[in-house]
């Protein structure tokens, strides 16, 4: 340990009056890491939450320091024994200085925030929906922490980097720290960011097992974990990032991401229109999704994916604008819902929204899984290429989780586009402004 790290260890950890116990060796390694990004954990019971809270409290003696800790939902945040509850145990009514006086830490229940005698602040937040990240648009932090990182989306995580800043003469380091078990909706991007490519970008991953935490009754906790299903047990007991739940139709490694598309491609775009607006009772409804696909020499190219949770009028505008960008050279298809309402929707798009474009409604048959099987075979054969773009991660996450993931709109759009490309055209099929029956 260098002299600088020894001094850092003494001042921000060992002599920090707000930490109730000394860190374990693994926790100390994580707390002393001086890079911007770090992930701690793996197995359950490795002291993840304690370590993350310690990291957030390292610089609360410095005036101007501001930190925030996130869970995915407020319910997660407020659970008994979770981060916020644990912080209250550490900081309120128990902390005293060397003279036996109260430490002066103030808790604001409305703002979910501690204020320290130095003026430093530690807040708690949540990102239940994708849009929740914009609630922090005007905030500034020197420390941002994510508890159970695999429950967050990559876009939520990356957006919060825009809130990480400090004054030019500030001695406080800028840090993003996370703790997590394997599994969850963000398993793949977290594994990719920290375990696969972490060393290339100075991101540290400190794996911790149950055995690394002497403060826990390891025997009893291990017996509890034995009751889990085999996959979750490997994730929680062994911290195994290769063990994952998910579907078997799509594996992300089978698709290649390419920087540019070959010339001469003829595209179609398939829309799966199954969205509704975000509301209090339904904060994460299905999406409307439009996927742009082409085929050349047996290779399929996904050029673009658009998805949104908006009002019907806004969806109309999105689909119309996307058609204008794609130009009339791109044929457009849309899944037609059963019954007269489905006919009316396609008729409206044909005569008004997409007038002048080659547009067809397509009736779906069979289950979503059955419709995905043909494209799954081509995917498994390595015949797919994805144009490098910001939608890649969310697209691959959903495909790999299908059919047990939270959403399947991108899978439906991919299946629909693929099936339209591979089906033989029917004689007499109407073109612009008509409905396919």
- Considering the chain, what percentage of its residues have pLDDT values greater than 70? 81
Q: How many CA atoms lie within 13 A of 50 on its CB side?
A: 20
From residue 205, alpha-carbon distances to 37, 99, 120, 208, 222 in Å are: 9, 39, 28, 10, 23
Residue 213: pLDDT band (50, 70, 90) is low
Q: What is the pLDDT at residue 430?
A: 39
Rounded mean pLDDT of 340-365? 91
Strand ranges, E, within 57-214? 66-71, 106-108, 113-115, 121-126, 143-147, 175-180, 203-208
- Considering the chain, what percentage of its residues have pLDDT values greater than 90? 55
From residue 202, alpha-carbon distances to 16, 172, 328, 335 in Å are: 27, 19, 46, 45
CA geometry: angle 172, 176, 181, nearest 5 deg? 145
Residue 229: pLDDT band (50, 70, 90) is low
* Nearest Cα residue to 177 out of 40, 82, 83: 40
Domains and CATH numbers, the chain: 3-238 (3.40.50.300), 252-422 (3.30.420.240)
The reported pTM is 0.57
Mean pLDDT, the chain, integer = 85
CB 23 within 8 A of CB 14: no
In this structure, of 108-117, 221-230, 260-269, the range with the lowest mean pLDDT score is: 221-230
CB 190 within 8 A of CB 198: no
Q: What is the pLDDT at residue 35?
A: 94
Residue 257: pLDDT band (50, 70, 90) is very high
């Amino acid at each position: 340990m260098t002299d600088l790290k020894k001094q850092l260890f003494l001042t921000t950890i060992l002599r920090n009056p707000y930490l109730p116990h000394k860190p374990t060796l693994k926790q100390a390694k994580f707390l002393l890491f001086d890079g911007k990004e770090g992930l701690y954990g793996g197995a359950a019971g490795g002291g993840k939450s304690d370590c993350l809270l310690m990291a957030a409290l390292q610089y609360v003696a410095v005036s101007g320091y501001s930190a925030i800790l996130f869970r995915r939902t407020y319910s997660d945040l407020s659970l008994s024994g979770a981060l916020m509850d644990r912080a209250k145990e550490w900081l309120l009514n128990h902390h005293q200085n060397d003279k036996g006086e109260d430490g002066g830490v103030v808790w604001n229940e409305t703002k979910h925030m501690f204020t320290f005698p130095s003026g430093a602040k530690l807040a708690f937040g949540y990102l239940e929906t994708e849009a929740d990240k914009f609630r922090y648009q005007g905030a500034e932090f020197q420390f941002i922490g994510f508890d159970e990182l695999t429950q967050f989306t990559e876009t939520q995580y990356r957006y919060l980097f825009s809130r990480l800043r400090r004054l030019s003469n500030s001695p406080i380091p800028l840090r993003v720290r996370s703790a997590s078990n394997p599994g969850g909706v963000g398993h793949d991007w977290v594994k990719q960011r920290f375990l696969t490519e972490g060393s290339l970008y100075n991101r540290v991953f400190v794996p911790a097992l149950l055995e690394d935490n002497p403060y826990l009754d390891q025997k009893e906790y291990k017996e509890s974990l034995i009751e889990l299903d085999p996959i979750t047990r490997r994730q929680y007991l062994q911290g195994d990032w290769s063990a994952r739940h998910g579907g078997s139709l799509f594996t992300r490694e089978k698709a290649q991401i390419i920087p540019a598309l070959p010339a001469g491609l003829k595209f179609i775009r398939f829309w799966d229109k199954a969205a509704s607006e975000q509301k209090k009772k339904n904060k994460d409804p299905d999406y409307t999704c439009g996927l742009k696909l082409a085929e050349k020499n047996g290779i399929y190219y996904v050029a673009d994916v658009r998805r949104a949770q908006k009002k019907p009028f806004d969806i109309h505008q999105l689909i119309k604008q996307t058609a204008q960008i794609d130009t009339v050279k791109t044929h457009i298809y849309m899944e037609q819902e059963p019954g007269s309402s489905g006919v009316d929707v396609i008729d409206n798009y044909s005569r008004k929204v997409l007038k002048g474009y080659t547009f067809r409604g397509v009736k779906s048959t069979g289950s979503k899984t059955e419709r995905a099987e043909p494209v799954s075979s081509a995917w498994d054969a390595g015949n797919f290429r994805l144009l490098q773009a910001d939608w890649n991660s969310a697209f691959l996450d959903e495909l790999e989780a299908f059919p047990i993931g939270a959403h399947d709109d991108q899978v439906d759009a991919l299946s629909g586009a693929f099936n339209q490309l591979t089906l033989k055209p029917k004689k007499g099929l109407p073109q612009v402004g008509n409905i396919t029956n």
